[in-house]
A = this chain, B = another copy of it.
C-alpha cells in the first residue's frame, strides 16, 4: 500500500492507495475515529452501486456502522442543486448529526456532489472519499467541492477537505476504457505542470496504464496526487500558485459547456485544452516544439487533441468569458514553458485565443 499525506495544517489528511482496500474500509474508518453511534451517508451512482457498493456495505455492516445510502444517476447531470437537495433529504431523514460523515464512493461527480453536501450539511460535517475512477485522483486532493449551475460549471461550492481518502485500485478494473484515458489526462497534466520526468514516465508506461497494471497505476496515482498535494499545500484557497492546476481547463471547460456536459468527458476536454495551451505557448514564442511533445503524450494515452468541427468558436469564446479564470474581464491562461513547467500568463487578447481555436480544429499549427 502507498500513502500520500496531504499537508494542510489542521486539515491534513492521508490518501491510501492500493489493492484490496475497500473490503477493509471499516478498519480505516475506525482508525480515523468515525463514530459507530451516529449514522453516516454513502453517496454513489447507479453505475458504481451494482459493482462496488456491496463490498463497502458488508465491511461497514460487519463493524456495526449505521448508514443510509443515496444512489444518484451516473453522470455530470447529478452535480446539480436539485440532486444536491435530494441527497440532503436522505441525510436529514437518515438522522445524520454533527458526528456523522458523508462517504463518497465514486468518481469526481460523486465526490464533488457528496463533498458539497458534507461541506454544508449542518454547516459542515466530516467527508470521506473512496475514489473509483482515475480522474478522481485529482478531485480527491484539494478540497474543492461543487455542483454546477445551469449557466456555469462548478459555480456553487466550497472548500472542504476530506478526513481520509481510500483509493482501492481494484475498483478501477470495471472502468470503461474511455474513462481510463480521460482519467490519465489529469495524471499526465500533473507531470506537465511540475514534473518532466513523470510526464515522460506516463508516456513510456502508457500501455501498462491503459491496461490498469497495478504497479504502474499505483505509482502513477501516487505521483499524481503527490504533485497536486504539493501545489495545494502551498495555496489551499487558490490565491495564486494553485491556478497552474488549471492547465488545459479554460478551453476544456468551454468545450464541456458548449458540447453540453456529457458529450465530452472532462479528461477528454482538458486534453484538447492542453493541446490548445501548447499551441498558445508556441504562438507566444515560448516553448518551441512543445505542441508536438504534448500531443504525443496525450495521444499515447488515447486522448483527443483536435477540436471537433461542430463546436462553434463564438460559443466557446462566450463560455470562456463566463469562466472563473477571467478576472475582471482580462483573459488569463496557464501556458507551458517546457514539459514539466508552466506559467500563468495574463492579458491574452481574445483574438489570439480565437486563432488558437482555429488551429486546434485543424489539428495543429497551420496558417488560418
Contacts and interface: CB of A to CB of B under 8 A. Distances in A.
Contacts of A157: 120, 122-123
A367 interface: no
B149 A92 contact: yes
Interface string A28-44: 00000001011000000
Interface stretch (A81-89, A103-111, A179-187, A260-268): A81-89
A124 to B, nearest CB: 7
Nearest to A324: B122
A98 B84 CA distance: 23
Contacts of A121: 155-156
Contacts of A123: 144, 146, 157-159, 238
A151 B93 contact: yes
21 contacts: A35-B328, A37-B328, A38-B328, A85-B149, A88-B149, A88-B156, A92-B149, A92-B151, A92-B155, A92-B322, A97-B324, A97-B326, A98-B327, A99-B328, A119-B158, A120-B120, A120-B157, A122-B155, A123-B159, A124-B158, A124-B237
Main secondary structure of the interface of A (DSSP, over half): mixed
Nearest to A123: B157
Nearest to A100: B328
Contacts of A89: 149-151
Given A123-B146, A124-B237, 13 more contacts: A37-B328, A81-B81, A81-B85, A88-B156, A120-B120, A120-B157, A121-B155, A123-B144, A123-B157, A123-B158, A123-B159, A123-B238, A124-B158
A329 to B, nearest CB: 8
Contacts of A81: 81, 84-85
Nearest to A144: B123
Contact of A92 (B38, B120, B124, B152): B152
A56 to B, nearest CB: 23
Interface string A200-238: 000000000000000000000000000000000000011
Nearest to A159: B123
Interface in A277-331: 322, 324, 326-328
Nearest to A146: B123
A158 B156 contact: no
Nearest to A119: B158
A324 B91 CA distance: 13
A97 B158 contact: no
Interface string A133-149: 00000000000101001
Contacts of A237: 124
Closest 4 CB pairs of A and B: A123-B157, A92-B151, A37-B328, A120-B156
Nearest to A38: B328
A211 to B, nearest CB: 37
A78 to B, nearest CB: 16
Contacts of A144: 123
Contacts of A326: 97
A237 B151 CA distance: 33
Contact of A328 (B97, B152, B238): B97
Contacts of A155: 88, 92, 121-122
Contacts of A156: 88, 120-121
A259 B35 CA distance: 34
A324 B95 CA distance: 10
